[in-house]
Amino acid sequence: MFYREAGQFKTTYRADMATFPITQDRIGIAIILMVAFTVIPYFGSNFFLHAIMIPFLIFALAAIGLNILTGYTGLLSLGTGGFMGVGAYACYKLATIFPEVHILIWVVTSGFVSAAVGIVFGLPSLRIKGFYLAVATLASQFFLSWCFIRIPWLVNYNVSNAIEVPRRTLFGVHVTGPEATPHARYFVVLAIVVAMTWLASNLVRGRIGRMWMAVRDMDIAAELMGIKLLNTKLLAFAVSSFYCGVAGAMLVFLYYGSAEATAFSINQSFAILSMVIIGGLGSLLGSFLGAALIFMLPLLLPPFLGSLGLSIQAATAEHLSFMVIGALIVFFLIVEPHGLARLWQIAKQKLRVWPYPY
Amino acid sequence: MRAPDETTIKAGQTLLSVEGVSLSFGGVKAIRNVSFDIRKGEIRAIIGPNGAGKTSMLNVINGFYHPQEGQITFKGIKRKKMRPHDAATGGIARTFQNVALFKSMTTLDNIMAGRTLRMHKSFFWQLLRYGPAEQEEIEHRRKVEEIIDFLEIQHIRRVPVGRLPYGLQKRVELGRALAMEPELLLLDEPMAGMNLEEKEDMCRYVIDVNNHYGTTIALIEHDMGVVMDLANRVVVLDYGQKIADGTPDEVKANKAVIDAYLGVAH
């Protein structure tokens, strides 16, 4: 009833091709952004910002990265954790070698290092597809994990063999290191994630996004239309790895504070992949929804069970949440294989005609 | 938009010629020493019984298969083998026998994808979108809307093509090929599996494309009525060999063609 586009006529192609062509969507996104930038930091506790919002946003960004590769270009990758690690370690090396350059510049620059590594591991994608490519990217994951553990140069020969995040400030406020408040870090993460999401949405709606999707849907036809398969796939690998790299750098510098190689293990790759599948392949919104579900569920489940009066041990609660997530994944794959984003679309379609059935 | 030296071929002159092309897959000889030409502005039909090598011939022309022998001359440039990308930049577009659309993309996006080669704004403008990239997008959208109007598919603009019925998919595929503004359009059985009305519509579009845009068309078709009505000249293949070449009337009267289609008592 309220979500209806009747009466909204477009008279230019520009209006028709806008990011949010429907007025209600524009209002909705404005409200979400306003809440994210004002209400959440104002009312949110330190715990809420640090333990929920920051990692949620970072994982959503990594999911966008993987979605560009797997959802938009159709190249299944199990190397996400590795590419995130490349970003994190590159950021650490750059920040310690050139401490005078601002840390946020390095957070973004580390994405380029990750992109370069992504291109190298993307080269086989011209010849191999589907599960076989997944196995090839799995190899990259193991190779990169090995590098993180075995090359002490990457962590400046720290005895702990971990990244120790240096203290850095932005406008005189600590944004990294132990003194940084959750609020400061939250704003930095939010700004980067919003900006990069906007760039990604521009990319996927334009010529490049169509090239990616064309390669995904029917590579032979794409080739015969003059789309160069290798270039297109490598571009997808580069952009995807860039996003994952920035997410990885933020994960260490703005969330963990210090990290070992295990933070970028195969488990991370699987977690991101399940976010993308649950959220919806080929949807930026889906990346956020998937990240929210996979990341927040284990956090929200124990308090929820507690409120039901079930007092259970922490370890049991953790196992329980794994089981619930597993069951939910199976449930979603059966009920809606196209993910939460499709559910949202269906809901919007229903709203559009409500209260009539069609 | 095209370089001036490429437009020198006038109507009636040879646009593409195939000389002595042979193609085999292992021991199977798909095409044996076939030569024919396509003149600019004509509708050229390639016919033949099933397995005669018609689709293989199209695949050779747009560079998907590389023949073992023979060469292809397109717009005066000789090539031992064409590459798909060269064929596309040179102005060859095609549709497929079993529709090869981008299934999860909308009609609009499918046809827009056909204009990829003509869009040049770089990655960084695409990232920003506002400004030059959007301007370019709007220019091409205008062209695409012309094609959508031409093919009368306005109502399915926003529908993912995977959900469309077969006849409409064929039409969208034609639209995608037209979006490339090709000089030579290869149609692989554009009317296969259609009912009479859809066939008549498709014929009308083929003729209109030929008249309106001046596009040279090479088409494969099994419906003889359609072929004889549409084509200016017909080449007949059988078991990979050329058995006849000429106007529809000449081909119709050809003994070898009748034998190939009706069978011959041995």
Alpha carbon distance B236, B57 (integer Å): 12
Over pLDDT 70: what percentage of chain B?
96
DSSP-assigned states of every residue in B100-125: ---TTSBHHHHHHHTTGGG----HHH
Q: Is B79 exposed, middle or buried (0-12, 13-18, 19+ CB in 10 A)?
A: middle
Going by DSSP bridges, is the β-strand pair B233-238/B43-47 parallel, antiparallel, or unpaired?
parallel
Buried b (16+ CB within 10 A) or exposed e, A259-297: bbbebbbbebbebbbbbbbbbbbbbbbbbbbbbbbbbee
Contacts of B117 in chain A (CB under 8 A): 225-226
Min CA distance, B148 vs chain A (Å)? Answer: 14
Does pLDDT of A311 surpass 70? no
Please calculate the CA angle B108-A286-A192 and round it to the nearest 5 degrees. Answer: 100
Which pLDDT value is given to residue A155? Answer: 82
B173-220 pLDDT, tens digit each: 999 999 999 999 999 999 888 889 999 999 999 999 999 888 999 999
User: What pLDDT is stored for residue A302 in this prediction?
Assistant: 72
pLDDT band, residue B8 (cuts 50/70/90): low
Q: Which residue of A has its CA nearest to B160?
A: A217
Residue among B64, B101, B126 whose CB faces A206 most closely: B126
- A to B CB pairs, distance under 8 Å: 100
What does the buried/exposed string (b/e) look like for A225-247 if buried means 16 or more CB atoms within 10 Å of the residue's CB? Answer: bbbbbeebbbbbbbbbbbbbbbb
Is B98 an interface residue toward A (CB < 8 Å)? Answer: no
In this prediction, residue B1 carries a pLDDT of 41
| Rounded percentage of chain A residues whose pLDDT exceeds 70 | 98
Q: Alpha-carbon distance B52 to B265, whole Å?
A: 20
| pLDDT at residue number A297 | 77
Per DSSP, helices labelled H in chain A are: 13-16, 23-34, 40-43, 46-47, 54-66, 80-97, 103-122, 130-150, 182-205, 207-217, 219-224, 229-250, 266-279, 284-307, 314-335, 339-353
Find the residue in A nearest to B126 (Cα). A203
Residues in B touching A216 (Cβ below 8 Å): 102, 104
SS3 A159: coil
Asked if B102's CB is within 8 angstroms of A218's CB, the reply is: yes
Residue A286 confidence (pLDDT): 92
pLDDT digits (tens, 9 = 90+) for B20-42: 999 998 888 899 999 999 999 99
Q: What ipTM is given for this predicted complex?
A: 0.89
Confidence check: pLDDT of A167 > 90 = no
Indicate if the pLDDT at residue B3 is higher than 50.
no
Average of pLDDT values for A54-60? 94
* Chain B 172-231, residues with CB within 8 Å of chain A CB atoms: 176, 180
Distance from CA of B40 to the nearest CA of A (A): 21
- Dihedral in degrees, nearest 10, Cα atoms A75, A79, A84, A89: -140
Predicted local confidence at residue B163, as pLDDT: 92
More confident residue, B252 or A5: B252
Q: What is the mean pLDDT of residues B133-143?
A: 92
Chain A nearest CA to B260, separation (Å): 32
For B100-181, give the CATH class.
Answer: alpha beta
Tell me the Ramachandran region of residue A348: left when phi exceeds 0, alpha when psi lies from -120 to 50, beta otherwise. alpha
A214/B62 touch (CB, cutoff 8 Å), yes or no: no
Task: Evaluate if residue A46 carries a pLDDT over 90.
Answer: no
Q: What's the confidence (pLDDT) of residue B2?
A: 43
Residue-level pLDDT at A12: 82
Give the residue from chain B lying closest to A230, CA to CA: B85
In chain B the beta strands, taken as DSSP E runs, fall at 14-25, 28-39, 43-47, 69-74, 77-79, 92-95, 184-188, 216-220, 233-238, 241-246
pLDDT attached to residue B201: 92
pLDDT band, residue A166 (cuts 50/70/90)? confident
* Band of pLDDT at residue A258, cut at 50, 70 and 90: confident
Which superfamily, per CATH, for B1-91+182-189+217-266? P-loop containing nucleotide triphosphate hydrolases (3.40.50.300)
Between positions 10 and 39 of A, the ones with CB within 8 A of B are 12-14, 17
What is the value of pTM for the model shown?
A: 0.90
B1-91+182-189+217-266 and B100-181: same fold? yes
Smallest CA–CA distance from B60 into chain A, residue? A224
Whether residue A232 is predicted with pLDDT greater than 60 in this model: the reply is yes
Angle CA B150–B151–B152, to nearest 5: 95
Predicted pLDDT of residue A1? 56
- Measured between CA atoms, how close is A151 to chain B, in angstroms? 35
Q: How far apart are CA A190 and CA B18, in angstroms?
A: 60
For residue A173, pLDDT over 80 is answered with no
For the segment B48-62, the average pLDDT, to the nearest whole number, is 89
Q: How many whole angstroms separate alpha carbon B138 and alpha carbon B141?
A: 5
Residue of A nearest to B93 (CA): A225
B64 CB neighbours in chain A (<8 A) are 220, 224
Across the interface, whether the CB atoms of A224 and B137 are under 8 A apart is answered no
Closest Cα in chain A, distance from residue B265 (Å)? 42
pLDDT of B263: 76
Could you tell me the pLDDT band of residue B266, with boundaries at 50, 70 and 90? low
* Mean pLDDT taken over chain B: 88
- Rounded to the nearest 10 degrees, what angle do helices A207-217 and B132-151 cross at? 50
Arithmetic mean of pLDDT, A271-281? 90
Test A221 with B89 for CB contact under 8 angstroms. no
Bridging pattern class, strands B14-25 and B69-74: antiparallel
Distance, in Å, from the CA atom of B113 to the CA atom of B212, rounded to the nearest integer, reads: 22
Domain ranges of chain B: 1-91+182-189+217-266, 100-181
Closest residue in A to B162 (Cα) is A217
pLDDT at A102: 83
Nearest chain A residue to B119 by CA distance is: A207
- Quick check: B137 and A222 CB within 8 A? no
Residues near A20 by Cβ (< 8 Å), separated by ≥ 6?
A26, A29
CA-CA distance, A239 to A201, in Å (whole number)?
A: 13
What is the distance in angstroms between the Cα of B185 and the nearest Cα belonging to chain A? 12
Residue of A155, A154, A159, A90 whose CA lies nearest to A118: A90
